[in-house]
Structure formats: structure tokens, C-alpha cells
């Protein structure tokens, strides 16, 4: 009996186990799969070929489009208010050319609008980017002749519009600190082709929401959102730092959501993330993030913005009924204004202009931003958090905490919690019609009752 041909869906980038040269093993499997297209019925989410008539949605928000021929689906839920798909150019760097070629065949069947560009060295990758920009760069961190961190650093400097994803082994605990400023997401090695498809699909959808190239570049250039804190703090102070500083919390969740540390892209709990990564890892990360920085012209307002985000987080969490909802509401509330933090570091003049105009005209900042940029700090922050791989529901809540009616169906509850908390803390009264449409009248009244008591308690504690 001949050997069974492996479906292309089973192929993984960087196979682990007893194989001495993982990419060559991938290439051998690719060659076995290449001669004819597989037709496997009833495959799992990664499978090619025809879907079983009984195929189901395994998770809320997953999209399965049935029809004649192959069924097609995406792991990433459809982001709301997106105008339509855009073409994606994906550059994959691997020392074995057949790896990228096999992935190219796989992607061409499932995502015909994507163009996959193979490169077997850093030089080839840089030449390809110089010839024509790419939307996404995916590279291994370490190869026989490949230094992924150095490549990402050069790409970040020369081609900031490219999203930078890197593959790293699960036990390479130095990798996050090598890549802290240059990688947007760390993906586990081995990495299934369906995982690559999911992260690229999500970026594609985020780009449809925030279509302004200059704002996208601001997000791509942000390696960290540093915090003016003392890295010599005690363990308790470091725990508090990650729970009250939006920049530190965002970076912590970026790493905790990455598969290379055994994390989950659905993790939306700061305390669980701290426990998962461990005290030593958190201490190293705090030292890396607390590098001194010169004060910006808008830094006088950064303290009040940080306290406002903490207040929104605490109030949103207090309104939730379930513990897991409270943890996610706290995280989304803390990060809801991370777009303003990004602007403070990367484009302070833009932030100062809109803040000044909002004060002079007695308008909410997001209203002035929409008129001036065609987008708001909420959408900018959501784009950055999505680029960093944070959970979809959290990204949706950040994006729509000023416009909850736009949130996707399975994200309405979390978005509504953050929106109500933000309205009460910021003193922005929502219309009775919107409260009624969202079924949030009682929630808003509860927040109005709770907020004065919470504020008094914070004053007693000296927060």
C-alpha cells in the first residue's frame, strides 16, 4: 500500500518533533501534495476541498459561506462597518523556497485576492519590498542564515506600512524582548497555514475600517507605548502598573495573546495574563517598558487621560454581571483611549489641535476628530490593538465605545458596558433614543448611581 498523501491543510510552517530540518520536512510534504489537488470532504476549519453539508460554526462569529463547490470560511469574525475586501500582498521569508510556494498554492485557492511573494533570505525580502510594497511580512526569527529580528528592524525603518509577524519557538523566552519594538505579532512555531490565514484576514478587515494611510503608519510605527514609571518598583507595584497603565497593559496582552507562550488570542483578562506569564517575565517587561522618555508638549494631560481610562475600566467592570465579562470590560475600558496615547507619542500636534478645538467649541473630542481626520482615536486604538493580536471582542469595544450601535452582534454586551461607563465618566449624556435602542436604560441609571460612590472611595484611597 502506498503512503497516504497529506492534505496541504495539514502542512505547517516549521514542523517540530524529531525532524532535524523542519523546513525541508515541510518541502517534502509539499512536494507530495503538489501533483494533484486534494478533495477531502468534511474537513476541519483548516481543510481544503468541499465542506460537509453538516459543517457548523464552531465559534461565535465564524463565517461559513455555503454554496455550490467549496465552502469558504474565516477564523476572524467579520468586523462591522467594513466596505468590502481589499487585495493583500503577503511576503513570506523562509530559507526553503518550497515552503512559501506551497503556502502560495494554498492561499490562492482560499483567498484569490491575496498575492503571496516568496523570499529565501533577508536580501531577497528587502529587494521585494523595494520593488513593490507589501501589506504583511511573515518571517522566522532564527534560521541557518537568517536573523529575523535584524530583518524586522530594517523593514520597520524602511517600510513602516508593512505589518510585521514573526514565527518563534514556544520556549524561546528571550524572543519577546528582542522583538519588543519591531514585531507586531509573535506566532508559534510550528504554525498552521490556517493560523496565518486568520491573522492576515484580520489585518485585512482592520484596514477596511481605518482606511487613512497616515493613521495606519502611526500604528505600525508604535513598537511600544512607554510609561514614565520607575522600573525598580516592587512586585506589587509592577502588578499595579500593568493594571492601571494602558501602554503597559496593551503590551502585556499582546504577548499573552501570542501562541508562542501558550497563550490564547481569546484571553481578555489582565490578572490571568500576569499569572500565565509569571512574575519574572512581568518584571522584565516592566523594565523594558519603563525606559525614560522626554516629556511631550501634551504630556501634561497624559496623567488625567490615564486616570480617566482607569475610571472607565473600573466602572465598566462593576456593571458586568459575570466575572469573565467584568475582566474583559476592565481591559477594554482601560484601553479604550489607547489611540490618544499613541497620538501623544507619535503625533502630538494632531492630538493637541483636536483637543484644543474640542474645548473651544464645547464638543466631545471624538466629534472633532471625525470631522478633522475622517476617523477617531477609538478606531485608531482599535486598529493598533487588532494589529497586536488582542481579542476581537476587546478590539470591537475599543472601536465603538463612542458609537455602540455599530458593534458586531456578539460584541454588543461588552461594547455597551464600556460605552455607558465612558459616557458617565466623561459627562457625555447619551440620547434617550440610543439608550432605548440598545436596551441600556437600566445600565446607564446604575452607572450614574455607582459612579459618585466609586469616585469618593478612590479619593479616600488616594487614587
Same domain as 269, residue 178 = no
Residues 244 and 150 in one domain: no
Q: What is the pLDDT of residue 150?
A: 93
In a domain, 310, yes or no: yes
Residues 191 and 262 in one domain: no
pLDDT tens by residue, the chain, 463 residues: 444 444 444 344 543 333 334 444 444 444 444 444 333 333 233 332 233 333 333 333 333 333 333 322 233 444 444 455 568 899 999 888 787 778 777 877 778 888 889 898 999 999 999 999 999 999 988 887 888 999 999 999 999 999 999 988 766 677 888 888 999 999 887 778 888 889 999 999 999 999 899 999 999 999 888 666 666 678 888 889 999 999 999 999 999 888 666 556 678 999 999 998 888 889 889 888 875 554 555 444 566 888 999 999 999 999 999 998 999 999 999 999 999 999 999 999 999 999 999 999 999 999 999 999 999 999 999 999 999 999 999 999 999 999 999 998 889 999 999 999 999 999 999 999 999 999 999 999 999 999 999 998 888 887 6
Q: Where are the alpha helices (DSSP H) in 13-147?
A: 22-33, 97-110, 122-131
Q: Say whether both 341 and 392 belong to one domain.
A: yes
| 92/185 same-domain check | yes
pLDDT of residue 417: 98
Domain that residue 148 falls in: 8-35+74-209
Identify whether the C-beta of residue 162 lies closer than 8 Å to the C-beta of residue 169: no
**Domain final residue, candidates 209, 236, 270:** 209
> How many domains are there within the chain?
2
263 & 389 share domain: yes
According to the model, what pLDDT value does residue 84 have? 53
Looking up residue 227, the CATH number of its domain turns out to be 1.10.3210.10
Buried/exposed 366-386: b ≥16 CB within 10 Å, e otherwise: bbbbbeebebbbbbbbbbbbb
Residues 272 and 404 in one domain: yes
The set of residues, in sequence order, having a beta carbon less than 8 Å from that of 290 and lying 6+ positions away, is 226, 227, 228, 229, 230, 231, 241
- 136, part of any domain: yes
Pair 143, 278 in one domain: no
- For residues 50 and 68, give the distance between their C-alpha atoms in angstroms, rounded to a whole number: 9
Cα separation, 220 vs 127, in Å, equals: 20
Based on DSSP, count helices (H) and strands (E) in the chain, helices before strands. 21, 9
Per-residue confidence (pLDDT) for residue 458, from 0 to 100: 83
Q: Tell whether 453 is covered by a domain.
A: yes
Q: Which of 191, 209, 227 is the last residue of a domain?
A: 209
412 in the same domain as 282: yes
Query: Which domain CATH number covers 108?
Result: 3.40.50.2300
Which of the listed residues 166, 191, 209 is the one where a domain comes to its end? 209
Phi-psi region of 462 (alpha: psi -120 to 50; beta: other; left: phi over 0): left
Q: Does residue 1 fall inside a structural domain?
A: no
Is the domain of 257 the same as that of 296? yes
Whole-number Å distance between alpha carbons of 195 and 167: 11
Q: For the purposes of burial, counting CB atoms within 10 Å of the CB of 172, is it exposed (0-12), middle (13-18) or buried (19 or more)?
A: middle
Q: Are both 186 and 269 inside the same structural domain?
A: no
Within-domain flag for 155: yes
For position 34, what pLDDT does the model report? 44
DSSP string across 213-226: HHHHHHHHH-S---
Per residue in 412-436, pLDDT tens? 999 999 999 999 999 999 999 999 9
Q: Does residue 234 share a domain with residue 145?
A: no
For residue 43, being part of any structural domain is answered with no
Residue 20 lies in a domain: yes
Q: Model confidence over 293-315: pLDDT tens digits?
A: 545 554 445 668 889 999 999 99
Amino acid at each position: 500500500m502506498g503512503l497516504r498523501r497529506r492534505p496541504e491543510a495539514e502542512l505547517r510552517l516549521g514542523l517540530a518533533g524529531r525532524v532535524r530540518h523542519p523546513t525541508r520536512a515541510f518541502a517534502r510534504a509539499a512536494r507530495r501534495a503538489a501533483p494533484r489537488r486534494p478533495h477531502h470532504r468534511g474537513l476541519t476549519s483548516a481543510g481544503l476541498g468541499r465542506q460537509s453539508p453538516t459543517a457548523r460554526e464552531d465559534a461565535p462569529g465564524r463565517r461559513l459561506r455555503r454554496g455550490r463547490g467549496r465552502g469558504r470560511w474565516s477564523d476572524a469574525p467579520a468586523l462591522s462597518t467594513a466596505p468590502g475586501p481589499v487585495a493583500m500582498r503577503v511576503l513570506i521569508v523562509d530559507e526553503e523556497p518550497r515552503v512559501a510556494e506551497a503556502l502560495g498554492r494554498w492561499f490562492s485557492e482560499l483567498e484569490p485576492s491575496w498575492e503571496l511573494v516568496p523570499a529565501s533570505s533577508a536580501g531577497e525580502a528587502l529587494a521585494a519590498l523595494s520593488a513593490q510594497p507589501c501589506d504583511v511580512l511573515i518571517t522566522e526569527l532564527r534560521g541557518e542564515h537568517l536573523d529575523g529580528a535584524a530583518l524586522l528592524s530594517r523593514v520597520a525603518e524602511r517600510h513602516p506600512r508593512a505589518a510585521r509577524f514573526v514565527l518563534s519557538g514556544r520556549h524561546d523566552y528571550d524572543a519577546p524582548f528582542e522583538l519588543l519594538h519591531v514585531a507586531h505579532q509573535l506566532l508559534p512555531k510550528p504554525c498552521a497555514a490556517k493560523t496565518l490565514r486568520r491573522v492576515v484576514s484580520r489585518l485585512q478587515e482592520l484596514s477596511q475600517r481605518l482606511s487613512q494611510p497616515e493613521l495606519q503608519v502611526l500604528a505600525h510605527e508604535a513598537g511600544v507605548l512607554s510609561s514614565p514609571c520607575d522600573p525598580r518598583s516592587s512586585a506589587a507595584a509592577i502588578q499595579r502598573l500593568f493594571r492601571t497603565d494602558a501602554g503597559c497593559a496593551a503590551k502585556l496582552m499582546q504577548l499573552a495573546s501570542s501562541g508562542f507562550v501558550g497563550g490564547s488570542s481569546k484571553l481578555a483578562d489582565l490578572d490571568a495574563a500576569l499569572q500565565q506569564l509569571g512574575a519574572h517575565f512581568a518584571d522584565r517587561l516592566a523594565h523594558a517598558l519603563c525606559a525614560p522618555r522626554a516629556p511631550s508638549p501634551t504630556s501634561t494631560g497624559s496623567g488625567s487621560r490615564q486616570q480617566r481610562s482607569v475610571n472607565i475600566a473600573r466602572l465598566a467592570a462593576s456593571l458586568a454581571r459575570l466575572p469573565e465579562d467584568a475582566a474583559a470590560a476592565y481591559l477594554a475600558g482601560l484601553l479604550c483611549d489607547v489611540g490618544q496615547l499613541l497620538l501623544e507619542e507619535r503625533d502630538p500636534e494632531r492630538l493637541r489641535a483636536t483637543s484644543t478645538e474640542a474645548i473651544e467649541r464645547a464638543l466631545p473630542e471624538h466629534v472633532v476628530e471625525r470631522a478633522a481626520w475622517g476617523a477617531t482615536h477609538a478606531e485608531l486604538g482599535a486598529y493598533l490593538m487588532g494589529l497586536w493580536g488582542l481579542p476581537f471582542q476587546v478590539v470591537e469595544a475599543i472601536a465603538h465605545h463612542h458609537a455602540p450601535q455599530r458593534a458586531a452582534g456578539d460584541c454588543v454586551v461588552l461594547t455597551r458596558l464600556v460605552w455607558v461607563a465612558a459616557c458617565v465618566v466623561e459627562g457625555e449624556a447619551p440620547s434617550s433614543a440610543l439608550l432605548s435602542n440598545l436596551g441600556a436604560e437600566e445600565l446607564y441609571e446604575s452607572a450614574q448611581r455607582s459612579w459618585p460612590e466609586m469616585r469618593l472611595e478612590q479619593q479616600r484611597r488616594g487614587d
